[in-house]
Amino acid sequence: MNKPLSVFVLLGYTAYAASAQDARQIMTEVQNRTQSKSEHYEGTLEVINSSQKISKKRWAYDRLGVYGNSKSELRFMAPPDVKGVALLVINHPDRASDQWMWIPAEERDRRIALQDRSSRFFGTDFSFEDLEERDIDRYDFKLLGDDKLDDAVCWKIESRPKESKTSQYTSSLLWVRKDRYFLVRTDNFAKDRLVRQISYRDVESIEGVWTALTVAVVDSTRNSRTRLTLAKVKYNLPIKSGDFTRENFRQ
Amino acid sequence: MMLLRLISWPYVRKHRLRSLLTTVGIVLGVAIFAGMHAVGDSVLSALSVTIDRIAGKTQLQVTAGEAGFPEDVLERVQSVPVVAAAAPVIEAVVQSGIKQEGNLLIVGVDMTGDRSLRQYDLEDGDQDIVDDPLVFLAQPYSLIVTRDFVRRTGLASGGRFTMQTMEGEREFTIRGVMRPGGLSAAFGGNLAVMDIYAAQKVFGRGRRFDRIDIGLKEDCPLDKGQAALQQALGPGFQVDVPAVRGRQFDSLLHVYSFMVNLTSVFALIVGLFIIYNTFAVAVTERRAEIGTLRALGTTRSQVIRLFLLESAMVGLVGSTLGVVFGSLIANALAGYIGDVMLAHYGIALGASRVSLSLSLIVTAILLGTATSMFAAVIPARNAARIDPVRALQRGWYQVLSADENRTRQRAAVLFAALAVGCLVLGRSRAIFYLGYGCFVLGAVLVAPTLCMWLSRVLRPVLTVLRPVEGALAADSLVQAPRRTSATIAALMLSTGLVVSLGGISRGVYGSVVDWIDSFLNSDLLVLASENGTNRSFHFPDTMTPALASLGGVADVQRMRSNKVSVKGASILMVAIDMDKAAEHGSGRVVAGAVKQMYQQAAAGKGVIISENCGMLQNIGMGDIIEIPSPSGLLRLPVVGIVTDYLNQSGSMFVDYAAIYLRYWRDPTVDIYKVYAKQGASAEELKQRVQARFSQHRRLFVGLNREVKARVMNNTRQWLGMSYIQIAVAMLVAVLGIANTLLVSVTDRRREFATLRAIGALRNNVRLTVWIESATIAFIGVILGFAFGAIDLRYELEMMRRDYAGLTLDYAFPLRLALILAGTIICAAWVSSLAASEASVRNSPIEALAYE
């Protein structure tokens, strides 16, 4: 290889490596700033379909562990038709999560198969995969530059799952606020087609943890949206690991 | 075409009634052929549509017989690398509980992952068909129904209706409506989707699935995927394309197809004879015309073509009308056949109109036209041979020439000898059926000779009854055999068919009565479904001790049946408590030492098979049977053979605990046989069982006599199809005899006129015609009984060898025969009315001048 070209290639590689490193560093910091040993909140879920029909539900959410290596349980509290239905998610750092659903009327739990994770979560615009926590080590990141979102300056980062076969998304675009290292929006793509857009709003610092109190999902293919509003958010509660088992889950 | 217009058409117009009757012969044959095949085709088509629509994009299906398999098999399937989507399914047929709606096919699916395989008809993919999927999952009695169902019932989303479940009657809520097309089109629109785990609860399936539907990864060929899955699961599972399920149902209709084909073939043969008779008479009547044509230069081939063309026109018109009537017959029969399918095979077809496919219509028309033309071949050939000079002479043509008679007799003897030879030597199917064909041909060829002989025998009897009229009637038969022999042959065949099918029905009925006494020998039967054949519902085995501990109960025997594939055939595997079966008895033993065979089977060391299973699948004592189970392939020796009529393809009996629970891991029961303690009242015991269980559970409790009555009723329903043959026989009588008599009356105008001129009254002439018709019917019936008596032997052998594997006792259906004889003779009188009126209508002077 001739000298100018090799220098050029080396500079290009260095710039790429630097940008990748920066993107990863950014995401690491994002993850660190939302870390907590445990979490609890009560959520109100509104699903608005393409006919503008609104359905409302409430759930209680509990979580234990670090990001990507945690256990969480989500249990519906209202309306009465769905009270008691629950989802248990065991997140692993190195592989896909294990998920089970509990239906009180059937008195049994059922496993959500890996292949089913792309399906919608109980009629909302979240998919089962969206409820997983995936450690940043399972993604490749690339800094695309700066962007402005809702008057906030953000980094715009592209992420791609390293294990493409375990995700319904081939790539995602992430907007991270520079001032807070907080993820404010995710656009998820399946083969260049926008599938879902998740926005994190009404960000507050609760017990030192930046928290989005409103999460809005728009499903581009279905023309429907879901809004999750968090309330009574608490962190680092004394929750036991034993509370997140299938036996305990069956209430 | 000119000859057709100038010669044939005027003749047809002149003899309108006769032409009509001739055409009706083909109409009858084609209508029965088309109608019954249409119903059979519709049955299979409805099943195929349902299977295809439910399958959706499914490429392969994993099954393990009818009993299904435990849930953990799903993870094994999902872990196979070639699998892109694996969706478990449960199917059940239930009474909808809605008036006039009949059965509903419930498909239980896992909605979280099923959308990749099945179309629930989302338009643009952007609108839910379920109002709230979470509520749908959270409330087990939720259903998605079809738009068609909603339209018919007037229910809407949110609407409710009750259905029987294993927990008793429950109210179901409609939570979503599918748009037309795709899955909605299955089962005639009477289909509903529910959550699979809810379906497990509702239908008492425990933790089992019926099957798993699979979509393979894009780059994986079908055969590779099939091989990979089969290897992962082992030989106890079947991995097939969805269409295979439809082919399995095909074999269930084997016996129905046998009856349909037999009836259709005979109906067409009867039509053939009627047309032959008509054309044979037409040739003799038009001999002067033909002679004149020949004298003017018409060639023999032109004469042959003329008659063939005439017969083709008759065939075409008759076939087309036959197709129309066939469609009416098919729709009339569809409901009846649907009930038979449900009662006997547990297959519900879904409401749908029967329509004839284009291929069936074309086949029926071609068949009818070909039959008509074939029937006219001999008369056409005879017409071509007419000597123009002799054609103008009268009288000679009615007598069968001595040569012709001898030729027929020799041919008949030859065919009879061949038939006997094939019967004696024929182990192979081809020789057996060749022998049968020779028997039928021989019978048809000897019919004219026997007809003449019987006419001569009856003449003195008729003369004693009515000296003048009786003698005239008998002489008409003796002197004009061409006129009557074809009609009598047709009568012989149709009567014989009724007799032989009646004999089979009687044999089946008698055998079922014997079997049912030995098999259904408990005081009570507790069933999960009303007729015992619907395998959608099961009891949990936990019910067994509760039932056994009821006051008055001496013993309880469990029974769980489901179909398994053995040697490529669908065999009913019946799991029973063998020790109890040995104690209480169960079926007549055909082979094997009774005590020993039950002991071995109870220990899980052998299987007992039914006689028809052994016959149809070529399995004998000591042979090893390979039975696929979810736990692997079982290899068990045959330790006994019993008589059993539970399944047309055959059944086999294994021990419930030692085999079924162990290898199928399915603790469910279909039927309990409950034995009462000495002195206990069966009626009181029935009430106790209902009081104890019916509040919380779906069950049907029947006393022994009630269940037997229901089984016999179902048997009678199945055998009721033989009434169609009786109707065919009666129609043949009416058509054939009316046709013959019209010709007879026309031929004998001068004779009748002479009688009137010398003082005979109209009633004397009428009586002559009536006696002639009754005599034709009587001779036809006598020959039919003789033909039927032999034909019955053949058909019992066909049933044993090829269709049901059943050895039935030979029993001539005397009662049916006597009813049939009376009915046909009465029908003959009715059919003679037109001819008898025609015989007295014209003035004697005009008739005497007739030439």
Q: What is the pLDDT of residue B115?
A: 61
Query: Is B761 at the interface with chain A, CB within 8 A?
Result: no
B297-309 tens-digit pLDDT: 888 888 888 888 8
A24-67 tens-digit pLDDT: 899 999 888 888 889 999 999 998 877 788 889 999 999 998 87
Mean per-residue pLDDT for B228-240? 89
B653-695 tens-digit pLDDT: 999 999 999 999 999 999 999 999 998 899 999 999 998 988 7
User: Best mutation site among B79, B137, B202 for testing chain A: the one with the most A CBs within 10 Å?
Assistant: B137
- Check CB contact under 8 Å for A50 and B126: yes
Q: What is the pLDDT of residue B637?
A: 96
B766-811 tens-digit pLDDT: 888 888 888 888 998 999 999 999 999 988 888 887 767 777 888 8
Mean per-residue pLDDT for B519-544? 83
The alpha carbon dihedral of B162, B163, B164, B166 has a sign of negative
Do B539 and B689 form a contact (C-beta atoms < 8 A)? Answer: no
B318/B327 Cα distance (integer angstroms)? 14
Which stretch of A39-53, A96-110, B7-21, B518-532 has the lowest confidence by average pLDDT? B7-21
Q: Regarding predicted confidence, which is higher, B826 or B262? A: B826
Mean per-residue pLDDT for B62-89? 88
Q: What is the pLDDT of residue A13?
A: 47
- Check CB contact under 8 Å for B86 and A49: no
Query: Is B74 at the interface with chain A, CB within 8 A?
Result: yes
Percent of chain A with pLDDT strictly greater than 90: 35
Percent of chain B with pLDDT strictly greater than 90: 19
Residue B124 has pLDDT above 50, yes or no: no
For residue B113, the distance in angstroms to the closest alpha carbon of chain A comes to 5
Q: What is the pLDDT of residue B247?
A: 60
- Check CB contact under 8 Å for B133 and A120: yes
Q: Regarding predicted confidence, which is higher, A39 or B281? A: A39
B157/B128 Cα distance (integer angstroms)? 13
Q: What is the pLDDT of residue A4?
A: 45
Do B67 and B656 form a contact (C-beta atoms < 8 A)? Answer: no
Mean per-residue pLDDT for B826-832? 81
Query: Is B173 at the interface with chain A, CB within 8 A?
Result: no
Confidence band for B733, pLDDT divided at 50, 70 and 90: low
Q: Regarding predicted confidence, which is higher, A2 or A196? A: A196
For residue B130, the distance in angstroms to the closest alpha carbon of chain A comes to 9
Residue A2 has pLDDT above 70, yes or no: no
- Check CB contact under 8 Å for A82 and B134: yes
Residue B46 has pLDDT above 80, yes or no: no
Q: What is the pLDDT of residue B130?
A: 66
Residue B330 has pLDDT above 90, yes or no: no
Chain B residues with beta carbon closer than 8 angstroms to that of A85: 134, 137-138
Q: Regarding predicted confidence, which is higher, B526 or B340? A: B526
For residue A148, the distance in angstroms to the closest alpha carbon of chain B comes to 31
Do B92 and B201 form a contact (C-beta atoms < 8 A)? Answer: no
A117-145 tens-digit pLDDT: 777 887 788 888 888 777 788 889 999 99
A62/A234 Cα distance (integer angstroms)? 10
Do A208 and A115 form a contact (C-beta atoms < 8 A)? Answer: no
- Check CB contact under 8 Å for B112 and A221: no
Please, what is the average pLDDT of chain B?
81
Q: What is the pLDDT of residue B732?
A: 67
Q: What is the pLDDT of residue A3?
A: 44
Residue B647 has pLDDT above 50, yes or no: yes
Residue B18 has pLDDT above 90, yes or no: no
The alpha carbon dihedral of B428, B432, B433, B438 has a sign of positive
User: Best mutation site among B116, B126, B134, B139 for testing chain A: the one with the most A CBs within 10 Å?
Assistant: B134
Percent of chain B with pLDDT strictly greater than 70: 83
User: Best mutation site among B72, B112, B132, B214 for testing chain A: the one with the most A CBs within 10 Å?
Assistant: B112
Mean per-residue pLDDT for A1-5? 45
Q: What is the pLDDT of residue B636?
A: 95
A:B CB pairs within 8 Å = 76
